[in-house]
Copies of this chain bind each other. A is one copy, B any other.
Amino acid sequence: MQRYFVPSSHFQDKLIRITGDDVHHITRVMRYNIGDKIICNSEYGKAALCQISQVTSDEIQATIETWLDENAELPINVTIAQGIPKGDKFDLVLQKGTELGAYAFIPFQAKRSIAIWDQKKAEKKQQRFEKIIKEASEQSHRNIVPHMKKPMSIEMLIEESKNYHVKLFAYEEEARVSNPNTFGNIVNRFEAGQNILVCIGPEGGFSEKEVNILKENDFLPVRLGPRILRTETAALYALASISYHFEEMRCSECQQ
């Protein structure tokens, strides 16, 4: 069933008001009308099965039939800090990362980022990014819409990282040396409700200086498999692995 994220201020008793682009989507793309059913989600994870009860050109009213008790969220809050990549690769990270359960996204201006997002550019992009995330959340049946944070410098990212229980960075060199911290060992120590920050370099990876700053601030280097992944694939590997570990595997069953 089609799902729409609606601001919680639009939930009023048994009625939900839908405005903006979603009106077009409901009436023109899906061709729904009075009587058709949709799921409405608030940004805080509440979801309700609703019946469309009124349609005008700029607003739809839906009547709540039943609250849904569902959970499609990872038990761990995984934030992806992505070194700003070239072209539209960040769009891919947002779309696929949302499908795979990311909690939040932070673009950061890395030394080797070829693209530079000044404030004006970043503000223009912000709206598109939020649209990509919202649509991917609806399509993948998320309970919440991941947070899209403002672009940061590495210094701001270090400051931000103080809010996280575990901080990791994908470091290609780790693929070549033996490392007691396998990614699996680290993931296995995550606990439900923890905030995890996974930091991925841009094309060309982190500079030596960035590696040192990250290590000094308790970021653990991890390899994400023995192959060299493109920057936009690394976040997806990390998220899929964490989902697999906590949602599809039961470690007590590993040795059966």
Chain A residues close to B by CB (< 8 Å): 71-72, 96, 99-101, 139-142, 182-185, 187-188, 223-230, 233, 236-237, 240-241, 243-245, 247-256
10 tightest A-B contacts by CB?
A: A184-B249, A240-B240, A241-B244, A251-B254, A183-B248, A140-B227, A184-B248, A225-B243, A237-B240, A72-B226
Do residues B101 and A182 form an inter-chain contact, with CB atoms below 8 A?
Answer: no
Give Cα A233 to B254, complex, Å: 25
Chain B residues closer than 8 Å to A183, beta-carbon distance: 244, 248-249
Nearest chain B CB to A130 CB, angstrom units: 19
Do residues A184 and B244 form an inter-chain contact, with CB atoms below 8 A?
Answer: yes
Do residues A184 and B253 form an inter-chain contact, with CB atoms below 8 A?
Answer: yes
Give Cα A74 to B129, complex, Å: 34
Do residues B248 and A224 form an inter-chain contact, with CB atoms below 8 A?
Answer: yes
Do residues B253 and A244 form an inter-chain contact, with CB atoms below 8 A?
Answer: no
Seed contacts A72-B226, A183-B244; 18 additional CB < 8 Å A-B pairs = A96-B233, A99-B230, A100-B225, A100-B229, A101-B227, A141-B228, A182-B249, A183-B249, A184-B244, A184-B250, A184-B253, A188-B249, A224-B248, A225-B248, A236-B240, A241-B241, A251-B254, A252-B255
Chain B residues closer than 8 Å to A141, beta-carbon distance: 227-228
